[in-house]
Amino acid sequence: MNTPQEFPQLLAAVQRLRAHQTPAALATIVRTRGSTFRRAGTSMLVHADGEVTCALSGGCPQRDIVLRALRAMAEGAPALVPYNREANFDVMMEMGCGGELEVLVEPLLDPADGRFLDVLAELHDARACGAVATVFSRDGAALAPRPWRLIHQASGHWTDIPVPALAERVRTLAAAVPLNARTAVERIEADGAQWGILLEVWRPTPALVVVGRNEGALALSRLAHGLGWQTTLVEHLASSPPAAPPDGVGTLIAAAPEALPQALAFDPQTAVVVMTHNFERDLAFVRALAPLPLAYLGVIGSRERAGRIREAVNDAATAIHAPAGLDIGSETAPEIALSVAAEIMAAMNARSGVRLSRTQGPIHP
């Protein structure tokens, strides 16, 4: 699926179209090879008037995909469209990508067609992890009248796969997907046919908690909020209830260090940056937060200051990023915010944060 930040936009568009009983089509990249504009699993919603939500590329492939989506709506049938050296590769070359991909185009003509999105919305609201399996092809052809899906999470699974033997095989596959897995396509034999299955990891929206209220904290909160992250600014002086949050920072709360772990629901998709600019206060917050299973715990400050904090909490369960941020020559508060946000994103995606020009691997693994 799309990133968790994009999902609410996609869901809202589908819900609006449902309310007006307007057809649409979902175009999903199911397979990639080489350099492509988005990774496998990314979806674009095409409206009946040709408008799109969550655009894929904006270039030639997207225009061609929109035309095929309009055709799928008119015919009421899904399609698997390859963009490779045997078919439709010219539009990829026009983009200058040089990669290959395959796109599943599925019309959404009935409320049941998008039921899986409602299930994902429940996971999104609960900040739950899971795996999504899409059965998109049978014996190499697009599964008609629409794909089947299975969504697995810790508490169980939901599926609309009507073939029991296949549903059990897919459930086993989805249950075995690790949370750091890349999107993959599996082909399995079941019920006398070969099935193509797209396996994806579902993660909650990244959450950022910024501790401190100062120019730098506001800049980082606003940047993260603009990225679609679930953002909370913590007023470190909790003597009175905080006023309304400043524009563009998300939620504002007041909490002392020892109270913060109970004041918010922290999870493995949560990053925290401590930046009160007071050493003893920063250390108190770090000590309270270090045992939590966070995606990232950072502290703003000099190397000498950072060393003292790491030494004081050397048995912390969460690795401490101090000084927080990437070395991009930041000076101003917005530049420092950019540096820190980039390091958080790299940490959450298990990427190195080095220059792309110095790497050889795929940009979108």
The answer to whether position 167 is within a domain reads yes
167 with 279, same domain? no
Whether 126 contacts 156, CB under 8 Å: no
229 with 194, same domain? no
At CB < 8 A and 24+ separation, what contacts does 151-154 make?
A: 151/116, 151/119, 151/120, 151/123, 151/202, 152/177, 153/123, 153/128, 153/129, 153/202, 154/128, 154/129, 154/130
75 with 171, same domain? yes
pLDDT digits (tens, 9 = 90+) for 301-310: 888 988 888 8
Whether 40 contacts 7, CB under 8 Å: no
The answer to whether position 361 is within a domain reads no
Distance in angstroms (rounded) separating the CA atoms of residues 70 and 317: 52
The answer to whether position 365 is within a domain reads no
Q: For residue 290, what is the domain's CATH number? A: 3.40.50.720
236 with 195, same domain? no
Percent of the chain with pLDDT over 90: 66
71-87 average pLDDT score: 88
The answer to whether position 170 is within a domain reads yes
Task: Residue 22: count other Cβ atoms within 10 Å of its Cβ.
Answer: 14
Number of domains the chain is built from = 2
pLDDT digits (tens, 9 = 90+) for 266-294: 999 999 999 999 999 999 999 999 999 99
219 with 160, same domain? no
184 with 302, same domain? no
Q: Is the pLDDT of residue 93 over 50?
A: no
20 with 151, same domain? yes
238 with 269, same domain? yes
The pLDDT assigned to 65 comes to: 92
The answer to whether position 358 is within a domain reads no
> Which residue, of 160, 186, 202, is where some domain finishes?
202
The answer to whether position 359 is within a domain reads no
145 with 230, same domain? no
The answer to whether position 362 is within a domain reads no
The answer to whether position 25 is within a domain reads yes
265 with 294, same domain? yes
Residue count of the chain: 365
> Which residue, of 169, 184, 202, is where some domain finishes?
202
197 with 212, same domain? no
- Cα 85–chain centre separation: 30
Roughly what angle, to the nearest 10 degrees, separates helices 279-289 and 303-312?
Answer: 40
> Which residue, of 176, 202, 228, is where some domain finishes?
202
Which is more confidently placed, 216 or 317?
A: 216
Q: What is the pTM of this model?
A: 0.84
177 with 213, same domain? no
Domain span holding position 267: 207-348
